[in-house]
Amino acid sequence: MKKYKKIVHLAPLDQSRFKVLYIFNLIIILCLLGRLVKLQVFNASDLQREARLLQSSKTNSLKKRRSIVDRDNRLIAYDKPLYKLWAHPKYFNFPGDSINKVRTIEEVVKKLAPILDMNNAALLGKFNNKISGIKLLDKIPEGKAVKIKNLQISGIDLFKYSQRYYPQGELYSNLVGFVNDENKGSAGLELHLDNQLKVFNKSNSIKRGGDGTPLPDNSGPGDFISDYKSLGLTIDSKLQKSAFNSLSKQVSKWKAKKGFAIVMDVNNGQILSLVTVPSYDPNKFWKYNSELFRGWYSQDLFEPGSTFKPINLALALEEKVIEKDGSVEDIGKINVGGWTLSNWDKKGNGYIDYPKVLQVSSNVGMVKIMQNLDPKIYWTLLKNLGIDKNLETDLYESTAGQLKAKDLFVNQSIEPAVAAFGKGFAISPLKLVQLHAALANGGFEVTPHVTQNFKERVNQSSKKQFFSHSVSKTVLEWMESVVDKGSGAGAKIEGYRIAGKTGTSQKALNGSYTSKKVCSFVATLPVNDPKYVVLVVVDEPSKSYAYGSTVAVPVAKEIIESLIVIEKIPPQIKDHEMIVKKP
């Protein structure tokens, strides 16, 4: 049987149907095009921002500060990492649990309590029936934080932060200061050198691909490396401790208001020790009176008294108004402009040479010596010493000294007379150290400083010379006689050449002198090759017979003894004396 093929007759497409399909496809294309324009043009910035958020991960940027170390890299201040513990009970889940399982607070407490050294009931009470955002504990050390992290409990969060810690306590507080609860420098070097101590992060994000792999970007080398730099000080901690203990003992013994001691290298201004008493614990700064936070050794002024006499003798020698081997008559008192000035003991000393003037601390002798100098020249010389200028240093902001106006100084004869023995003007203890350093190093100005990188700025500045080398050498030898056989004899150490000068000055209040005293002693050693200056100032000792020789000298001697050991200073043989040891 034959099969016949079916013949299909083609008919033209229905025009209305074709139009519907065409319009439908056109609408889809236009919608897609509109969507594309919206994404590429109108939403581009938003989408880029969202992409960055997905592709980048934020690092935990801490408010960190650099450590502070002494010259031997011993820690003085550093940031200690601590943690805050937060809990969200509605998310409590242990490793291996199903996603929907929620552990009880009691189950979590049972795991946390042993690590935190707390009993279960105490820790449980901190939850206070809240289900989220519960701050359980603060100041958790890193060791415990690691143990808590290892528990891998969902709903437990640890927030890392940094807290400043001062391992040497009160030993450095008046120098270094402290940071407050917001980690901001609030006193001492922490405040004054805040920008050098803060760690500035260059970047705090890392770009990542879809699988979490870090992608290359424009970050520079070291952008994400921890800052291991520290602020190095010139201070020696062993000498610092010795000086602090000696000063504390003497301030307590004499029931004084406060005390200050410093050891400085006369050639470069590096401070090896700087202590003040009373002090405070910077780890608990909130417990102390804010008055203790001041750096009074550079901010408070005092009349230097007899410790300035060697400076005046150097000025007189420099101007050639006295001869090296000259002498002066001291009858115990002198009348100047209607005022009677006398020696501290009201006694005369007859004809005495200039070393003897320092040995007995003769006020009358100094007045007569400086009367040989024209008052205009004398005032200019004091001005050139920078008496009334701020001291540029890396310590606290210094207070400019006080010097009488030139007209008053020149026209009132009493002014240059009292200035001759260190009265009528005022300077900071730190300025007095600077001047005696110049007297020791051949006459050159140095800048007292405690940071090791400060020397770069010192080298760039031209040194100012106050005295000639010969004058400095002469006055230093005169000061040596004060320790050998004068008021500074208490600082004498066998085999060592030490120069010094005591000072005892009354404190002025509202233009009148009171019974309150400032006792001081300045020493330089070794005389044959000056390297160190030591200054001790004790303010308002309240017991009888308080003088520089009785109050300040014993402290200086103990500091010098420690300095000799720490710096390994060998004994010296004096030019005029042989030290012979018996076999």
CB of 449 closer than 8 Å to CB of 393: yes
Q: Among 470, 450, 466, which Cα is nearest to 458's?
A: 450
Q: Over 80: is that where the pLDDT of 7 sits?
A: no
CATH of 80-163, one of 3.90.1310.10, 1.10.10.10, 3.40.50.1460, 3.40.190.10: 3.90.1310.10
- Residue 563: pLDDT over 90: yes
Pairing of strands 56-58, 230-232: unpaired
Amino acid 46: pLDDT: 66
Q: What are 276's strand-pairing partners?
A: 260
The model's pTM? 0.80
Residues with Cβ within 8 Å of residue 451, at least 6 apart in sequence: 189, 193, 196, 231, 232, 233, 234, 394
Task: Indicate the average pLDDT of the chain.
Answer: 86
Catalytic residue ranges: 306
Do residues 82 and 139 make contact, with C-beta atoms less than 8 angstroms apart? yes
Opening angle at CA 574, ends 568 and 578, nearest 5: 105
pLDDT digits (tens, 9 = 90+) for 400-426: 999 999 999 999 999 999 999 999 999
What are the tens digits of pLDDT across the range 248-259?
Answer: 999 999 999 999
For the chain, what are the domain ranges? 80-163, 237-566
Q: Look at the domain 237-566 and name its fold.
A: Beta-lactamase (3.40.710)
**Sequence-distant (≥ 6) Cβ neighbours of residue 550 within 8 angstroms:** 490, 519
Cβ partners under 8 Å of residue 133, min gap 6: 86, 88
- Among 30-39, 124-133, 265-274, 568-577, the range scoring the smallest mean pLDDT is 568-577
pLDDT at 368: 96
DSSP secondary structure code for residue 42 in this structure:
I
With H, G, I as helix, E, B as strand and everything else as coil, classify residue 236: coil
- Beta strands 67-69 and 230-232 are parallel
- Rounded to whole angstroms, the Cα distance separating 418 from 10 reads 132
Sequence-distant (6+) residues with CB within 8 A of 576 are none
> CA 548 to CA 502: how far, in whole Å?
5
* One-letter amino acid for residue 71 of the chain: R
